[in-house]
Amino acid sequence: MLPAPGPIEAIDPEDDPLRGLPYRAIRKLGAGGMGEVYLVEHRQLGRQCVAKILHAHLAGNPQIADRVRLAAQALGRIHHPHIVSIIGAGSTSDERPFIIMEHLRGHTLEDELAKCGQLPLRTALEYTCQLLRALAATHAIGIIHRNVKPGKLFLCDEGPGHPGTLKVLDFGIARVMPEVSPLAPQPLVVSTDAGTVVGTPEYLSPEAATAKPLDQRADLYAAGLVLYRMVAGRGPFDHAPTEAKLLAAQANEEPAPPSRFAREPVPPDVDDAILRALRKSPDERFQTADEMRAELERLLSVLPESPRRRSSPPQEGKERELEREAHAKAEIDVDDLAAAGLPVRRKMSNMWLFVAAAVITATATAAIVALLVGAR
């Protein structure tokens, strides 16, 4: 995770990581496990953008560099109003790969939920439809995001009374299906998928939680979890006390309908649509992002009008801090380190926790069977 926001760091020209390039760093916005985020400006055009630059100590790692290349190519092949735009990419003078992206103002859906708890049902459905439009575009060219969650969804600030435009961020752990489209980026040279749990446990599909092969329907499951969180104010498996049990719940436990936890009434058809998105078998879910969006739009068309609520815009004195935090949260996080095969500091890896839970369960079952046989 990223450190708490601190004072904005101004950049001395001598310390500018982009010196000698068309962009200059204005100030540092944040840092994460794999890189640093800067507000930058094009030296000739004066356009402000955001640069994500790999940490110097990771620059020589070919797997990390390959993931930065994949993220850049994924964004470069998609021009969509609900996906952050990439402007350029390259390497610094000390061979640190970087990506230049549009400068967004606003905050993440994760921040919005932390402040509001739940969102109005209409707002939640509208945001999910925007997300599904973005996923339809990525899936069409053979890209699976694999890390759909509130922290990777940005709500652009567009003034009072406007619900805001949602944009998908960060394709750092995307998976490529080159057979889907000739426009698909080149896959990773060294895949890290086999037998590895990659992603955030709260938003993993059952197939991802058990390290099985997955396709675009894993993103739709994650979209269903995001919608569940917006409507219910919590995830369906928040009761799981450990990461291992959370993974087991994603794989095996049927979720309660979100209406059980929502503050406002949730029509049965909305419950049904969300639960369909969360079916354990991919074949029983919505099969495409467009199919899921069409159903949610149908539900929106018959939903009674309700007020759309967005958290109030930041005070002028806090605008820079919010901007810094939002862009920092778009940085590549610990999941990307794991996906690239680098060691991360966790209590135990996701997969081993899952295996440990399975072993404990099997052992307990064997003991009970032995007692029953002995009792005969």
Structure tokens at 209: 């939680």
Q: How far apart are CA 136 and CA 76, in angstroms?
A: 16
The predicted structure's pLDDT at residue 305: 74
Percentage above 90 pLDDT, the chain:
56
pTM of the model: 0.81
Q: Which residues of 237-262 are buried (b: 16+ CB within 10 A; e: fewer)?
A: beebeebbbbbbbbbebebebbbebb
Locate the domains of the chain by residue range.
9-104, 106-334
pLDDT tens, residue by residue, 169-199: 988 888 898 888 888 888 877 665 555 677 8
Instruction: Evaluate whether the domain defined by 106-334 bears CATH number 1.10.510.10.
Output: yes
Residue 115 CB partners (closer than 8 Å, separation 6+) = 311
Q: How far apart are CA 157 and CA 316, in angstroms?
A: 14
The predicted structure's pLDDT at residue 51: 95
pLDDT tens, residue by residue, 267-295: 999 999 999 999 999 999 999 999 999 99
pLDDT tens, residue by residue, 59-82: 888 888 888 888 888 888 888 999
Give residue for tokens 């939903």: 303
The predicted structure's pLDDT at residue 11: 81
pLDDT-based confidence at 244, cuts 50/70/90?
very high
- Start-to-end Cα distance in the chain: 54
The predicted structure's pLDDT at residue 192: 58
State mean pLDDT over 290-310: 85
State mean pLDDT over 296-323: 66
Cα separations in angstroms, 353 against 258, 335, 348, 360:
27, 16, 6, 11
21 φ/ψ sector (left φ>0, alpha ψ -120 to 50, else beta): beta
pLDDT tens, residue by residue, 106-164: 999 999 999 999 999 999 999 999 999 999 999 999 999 999 999 999 999 876 666 68
Spatial CA neighbour of 160 closest among 38, 333, 308 = 308
- Averaged confidence pLDDT in the chain: 81
Spatial CA neighbour of 200 closest among 237, 164, 165, 232 = 237
pLDDT tens, residue by residue, 325-376: 444 444 444 344 444 444 443 433 443 333 344 433 444 444 433 434 444 4
Q: Which CATH class is domain 9-104?
A: alpha beta
pLDDT tens, residue by residue, 14-36: 889 999 999 999 999 888 878 89
